[in-house]
């Protein structure tokens, strides 16, 4: 028995924001949530503001979203949304603005102000008194699939880590996928984000929570990604392939929306928090050893994902990962051991196809990073 739930309406194709502008409008006053550069550089912000102007919708642009947004960053955004009286949100950017928008949508109607019954950290319970503001997603990276997941990953400075919250209430209502928006991604960002997609697809496919539905989508995502990912060894993807990268990313999101991730993600968070390793790169550094351990439990699944990717062995994937992810950051054994005090508590350890203990996590870190 299994179920499948993914309620996001998807519009995909060139100029889809302009072509389907009425689908962008979920209220009367919009807050556009984006990063410092992504909205402008991708061209998506221009398309969105043109669509809102032509439909006489007033809006405010909140472009202060940090990479790996903190809860404080999103609470500030929610204050701005309320001061403006926004009744819907349009998120433009990579996973950071998309995830931040989900938290802003929650905080805007469940203010974490003093005396309120909703404190900043309550968001991680995933249950909200008031239904979050409705949201639209326009991804400008091809990696996280956040446009179709019920997750938001936030940085918690108080706890020196990142943590996710999850709720069916923070699925976007609508997602617009236009490959043009990722054409000008810097090369290393394109690589890191493509590896995030690879990681979602493999972690989802080998996950204890996988189902026939999620496996079907994962294999299609791996096929689309496998056809294209090699191009990133030589340079950024040509325009005609950007649509495929974006679609593979969304398929990866659809998979983890059902299965969640594994320790690759939870063990990657300290690499990002303490060493500034970008999210996708952090996953890629740990994925090799994860795949080897998963292979011991479910070799038939390894055969299936290798075939979908068009690769012969896990070693081939590791070679590609090494080529795409140059990383000259130093890690000490003490640091790695210390991080596992927190990472071992992550819920997704239970979704791995192999037993996870603190010793095993230490061993994976050492094999991958020392
Ligand atoms: P990101 O942090 O959103 O963006 C990385 C960098 O790329 C930023 O500097 C960003 O600029 C820039 N950028 C984005 N689009 C661009 C474009 N089209 N052209 C030029 N530059 C562009 O990176 P991400 O990998 O997409 O997202 C990572 C976050 O998503 C992490 O916090 C991770 O934990 C989370 N995540 C969420 C899920 C989920 O299911 N919700 C899944 C996986 C990961 P700006 O500074 O302007 O933003
Ligand atoms: Fe991810």
Element holding 139 (H helix, E strand)? strand 135-139
At residue 218 the predicted structure's pLDDT band, cuts being 50, 70 and 90, is very high
Q: State the average pLDDT over residues 161-182.
A: 97
Q: Would the pTM of this model clear 0.75, i.e. be above it?
A: yes
- What is the pLDDT at residue 118? 84
The residue behind tokens 């929306």 is 257
Instruction: Identify which of 93, 184, 187 to mutate to test ligand 1's pocket (most ligand atoms within 8 A of the CB).
Output: 93
- Nearest in space to 175 (alpha carbons), one of 69, 254, 64, 63: 254
Q: Is the pLDDT score of 201 beyond 80? A: yes
Nearest CA to ligand 1 atom 4: 94
73 close to ligand 1 (CB < 6 Angstrom): no
Q: Name the β-bridge partners of 176.
A: 11
- Per-residue pLDDT of 230-268, as tens digits, reads 999 999 999 999 999 999 999 999 999 999 999 999 999
- Per-residue pLDDT of 13-42, as tens digits, reads 999 999 999 999 999 999 999 999 999 999
288 close to ligand 1 (CB < 6 Angstrom): no
Instruction: Identify which of 189, 252, 265 to mutate to test ligand 1's pocket (most ligand atoms within 8 A of the CB).
Output: 189
Instruction: Identify which of 70, 190, 279 to mutate to test ligand 1's pocket (most ligand atoms within 8 A of the CB).
Output: 279
- What is the pLDDT at residue 116? 77
- Per-residue pLDDT of 122-133, as tens digits, reads 999 999 999 999
275 close to ligand 1 (CB < 6 Angstrom): no
At residue 178 the predicted structure's pLDDT band, cuts being 50, 70 and 90, is very high
Give CA–CA dist 132/110, Å, rounded: 8
Q: Is the pLDDT score of 363 beyond 90? A: yes
CA atoms within 13 A on the CB side of 333: 4
- Per-residue pLDDT of 69-118, as tens digits, reads 999 999 999 999 999 999 999 999 999 999 999 999 999 999 987 777 78
Q: State the average pLDDT over residues 143-164.
A: 96
Q: State the average pLDDT over residues 274-302.
A: 98
């Amino acid at each position: 028995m299994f179920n499948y739930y993914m309620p996001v309406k998807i519009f995909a194709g060139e100029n889809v924001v302009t072509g389907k502008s009425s689908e962008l409008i979920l209220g009367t006053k919009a807050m556009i949530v984006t990063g410092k550069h992504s909205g402008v550089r991708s061209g998506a912000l221009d398309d969105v503001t043109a669509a809102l102007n032509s439909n006489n919708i007033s809006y405010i642009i909140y472009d202060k979203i940090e990479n790996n947004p903190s809860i404080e960053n999103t609470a500030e955004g929610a204050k701005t949304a309320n001061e403006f009286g926004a009744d819907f949100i349009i998120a433009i950017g990579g996973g950071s603005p998309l995830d931040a928008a989900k938290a802003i949508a929650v905080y805007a109607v469940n203010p974490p102000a003093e005396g309120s019954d909703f404190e900043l950290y309550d968001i991680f319970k995933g249950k909200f008194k008031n239904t979050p503001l409705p949201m639209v997603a326009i991804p400008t990276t091809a990696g996280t699939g956040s446009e179709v997941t019920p997750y938001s990953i936030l940085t918690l400075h108080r706890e020196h880590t990142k943590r996710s919250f999850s709720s069916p209430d923070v699925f976007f209502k609508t997602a617009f996928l236009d490959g043009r928006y990722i054409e000008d991604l810097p090369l290393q960002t394109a690589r890191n984000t493509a590896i995030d997609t690879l990681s979602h697809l493999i972690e989802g496919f080998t996950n204890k929570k996988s189902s026939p539905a999620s496996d079907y989508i994962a294999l299609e995502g791996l096929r689309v990604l496998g056809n294209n990912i090699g191009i990133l060894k030589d340079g950024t993807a040509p325009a005609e392939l950007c649509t495929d990268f974006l679609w593979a990313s969304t398929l990866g999101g659809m998979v983890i929306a059902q299965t969640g991730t594994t320790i690759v993600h939870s063990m990657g968070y300290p690499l990002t928090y303490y060493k500034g390793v970008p999210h996708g790169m952090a996953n890629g550094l740990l994925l090799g050893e994860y795949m080897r351990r998963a292979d011991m439990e479910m070799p038939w699944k390894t055969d299936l994902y290798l075939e979908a990717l068009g690769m012969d062995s896990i070693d081939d994937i590791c070679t590609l990962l090494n080529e795409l992810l140059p990383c000259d950051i130093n890690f000490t054994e003490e640091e790695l051991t210390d991080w596992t005090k927190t990472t071992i508590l992550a819920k997704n350890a239970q979704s791995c196809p192999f037993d996870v203990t603190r010793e095993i996590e230490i061993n994976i870190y050492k094999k991958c990073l020392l």
